[in-house]
Amino acid sequence: MPHAKVPVVQPPSLNRGDAFAITAPSSALRNDDSLHRGIAVFESWGLEVQPHQLDARHWGYLAGTDQQRRADLDQRQSPPLLACARGGWGAARLLEHPWPWSPGWLLGFSDITSLLCSRLAQGVGGGVHGPLVTTLADEPDWSQQRLQELLFDRTAPDLHGETWVGGKAQGPLITVNLTVASHLLGSSHLPDLRGMILVIEDVGEAPYRLDRMLTHWRLTGTLQGLAGIGLGRFSGCDDANLSANAEQTFSLEQVLKERTLDLGIPVISGLPVGHGQGGNAALPMGVPARLDADRGTLSLERPNQR
């Protein structure tokens, strides 16, 4: 059953001198250097990091017990920005029990998709699908600047992609890792996507597995209710070694086109979003957006346009 739409409340912009906390809701940290370099980027923006010991915490392959990782996310006791350290697996485990999301900024992608979607389903804005703390320092300058503008000014330049199906669409924006979001279908943690612009990305999934997931979305009617689709980066998803029989397969592009082009909505591909090289453009969850597939652009509605 589709969930009723909940009005999305966005948090205020950040200011220099604001504090931020690092949270590790997924896999255990492995590279202290990348974490500290990411912190340095935030500090260069005038933000102050709260003390943490996440790089020394683990429970099996997770960054602490479920209780420890849930406590990290309690924004009632936290600064206005929670920046996720890394992805991997484990964030969805934290959603098994009711979770009262509080207003504030939450930044991350990949496995963090489950948390971003859960917040949005409850009408809590401030989720940003974007670089993790451990990936931020290696982002190109334009990507770091884009994230800074989103957090401090709630604006960002247009993204450009390739037109697959022309037309124009307007609606709230949601950006997800396809694999992670597919495992939220049927739960209360995936918001009602009717009328929304969906941007999807993934990594290391064979074309037949992407086909299987997108078919699941079609069988639930979820894709058919969208206003438009943007396709981000599908890094390592066209590797012949991922297919059991490389001589009898569809390419990544064939699968994505066959599963989206007949929906009767605008579709653009090649957005600089997700895993892999070239930059992971930060996109806010639930904000009004415009997909102009005739021009191949995805735009955020500026705050003063409302």
Has 201 been annotated as catalytic? yes
What is the distance between the alpha carbons of residues 189 and 152, in angstroms, rounded to a whole number?
A: 28
Q: 64 near 57, Cβ under 8 Å?
A: yes
DSSP type of residue 196: -
Task: Please tell me which residue in 78, 118, 182, 275 is annotated as part of the active site.
Answer: 275
Single out the catalytic residue among 26, 34, 139, 201: 201
Q: Which among 52, 61, 56 is positioned nearest to 83, based on CA atoms?
A: 52
Q: Distance between CA atoms of 51 and 125, rounded to whole angstroms?
A: 25
**297-300 and 288-292 strand pairing:** antiparallel
β-bridge mates for residue 124, sequence order: 9
Q: Is 3 annotated in the active site?
A: no
From 110, 114, 118, 182, active-site residue:
110
207-219 and 252-260 helices, crossing angle to 10°: 10
Catalytic residue list contains 110: yes
Q: Which residues are catalytic?
A: 110, 201, 275
